Amino acid sequence: MKTIRIGTRDSQLAMWQANTVKGKLENLGYETVLVPVKSTGDLVLDKPLYEMGITGIFTKTLDVAMIKGEIDIAVHSMKDVPTALPDGIVQAAVLERGQTIDLLAYNNNQEFLAQKDAIIATGSLRRKAMWLNRYPTHTVVDLRGNVNSRLEKLKNNDWNGAIFAAAGLNRIGLEHENTIGLSWMTPAPAQGAVMVVAMENDDFVLDACEQLNHKETEICTYVEREFLRHLEGGCSAPIGALAYINERTVTLSGVLLAVDGSKKLECEMDAPVGVHQNLGRAAAEKILNKGGKRLMNEMIDSPTKADVFSTKKLTNVQVQLFDQKIKVKSEDFVKINPSRISPIAVKNPIKNVIITSKNTVDALLTNFSPVELQFQNIYCVGRKTKRLVERKIGKVAHSENSAKKLAEYLVEFMEGLEVTYFCSNLRMDDLPDILTENNITVHEVEAYKTKFSSVKVNDSVKVVLFFSPSTVESYLLENHAGVTAYCIGETTATEARKHFKTVHVAKIPTAESLIELVNENNGK
């Protein structure tokens, strides 16, 4: 039997989490071994997290180790994990959640809570903003390090108190003499939860980890992280979210604050379990419409001129990954909009259905609830799409890594001679043609529209980032090819080489890896 290599940070809390996963897997009969590593977040302690501006600062090192094949799974505090995982890496399990509340550990007494002046320590921008919103005259100072070292710093400084996650203290058995539960402080999305990630093509490991998954925690953390994702926040935006389930109803409370705590936007919404997929997005849109867009824009420094332009909208965290001397702007050059799908298209059980992307899943669930999608045999392209379909719609009969391979499989093994294909208005695959040539009737249903949304880029731009062949096509509608192209993957690069003289390809197909490459080349 394969020994599962468990990657983890080497802090006491991270080791507790990894050992918990190790114990659960071994109880199921699997062989495991721990592989501890240090992350950038552990090594660089002289800056607040939000000033470092790195997405997944505690997870990036483990991601690279996994992609290199040095570990099989990684165990993370889920609140540290970026909402967009690197290509090839998937969420394999979420353990049952611990406490979500934040605690204030304090020295001496609580009298400072009623006083004008006090000093509170935290490395979290969310905690800082929420504390200043409640106590605007207090001073908040930075506090970094693992849980043990932060408690020691509290004892050795003249601060009044410091803020910690209750789950972290409890899991490693640390107690401070004086603590207060901050029930008024909305926690970070997924606080108190532990996530296990793995490579999407490692069926052995994924099957093992699936047995560790706690469904209620998975639902609640999914909703919270969708709220975070749609606000486009991360370590450098003060965002909190907490969801819970009561009598088959998911309730989400979300908050967005100004960095200094001077503004606070809140929202609470609910949805029945099973139709909760869009709850996080709906709550985020409500916040944005209440003034959140203006608030987010105030936190993003967007120069009028730029050296680098991205054809996909970057988060404020991603923008901060660039070297300070590099000026960056970004816009979505390709936009995806769900189509209005006629109920007739899903009326009565459909025998054979093809779903090839996440966009299709999102479009179907925008139009219908999962119970309305009565598909007998679902065929998918890509393991990530397969897992998404099985989580949100139903069991997948078969999946392949490409549309062409799926078409070849269907020609050979599909029951019947008809299939419904939910697709985009612009598609670049051979699947329908192959099926039609083999006397299989394909009913194409437009699930979403892919639209080019090109804008004229300033002449100061020397470098352009591309994320798909479509972004290359869209860019060229309004702009010339006299720039250097940086591409997220080889498929995109193949299209770019038809037009651009100099083309660079990211080492790993992620936005962060692409940005690293730009920094290595000094933005040239």
CA nearest 493: which of 481, 506, 480, 482? 506
Which one of 72, 80, 202, 307 is the catalytic residue?
80
- 80 labelled catalytic: yes
**Left if phi > 0, otherwise alpha if psi is -120 to 50, otherwise beta: which for 8?**
beta
The identity of residue 505, as a single letter, is V
Question: Nearest-5° angle of CA 483, CA 54, CA 134?
Answer: 130
CA nearest 122: which of 109, 135, 103? 103
DSSP letter at 507 equals: S
DSSP letter at 494 equals: H
Could you tell me the sign of the dihedral formed by the alpha carbons of 111, 114, 115, 119, in that order?
Answer: positive
CB 464 within 8 A of CB 484: yes
CB 277 within 8 A of CB 392: yes
Please state whether beta strands 3-9 and 31-37 pair in parallel, antiparallel, or not at all (unpaired).
parallel
Please state whether beta strands 102-106 and 179-182 pair in parallel, antiparallel, or not at all (unpaired).
antiparallel
Query: What contacts 207, CB < 8 A, 6 or more positions away?
Result: none
DSSP letter at 457 equals: P
> Known catalytic residues?
80
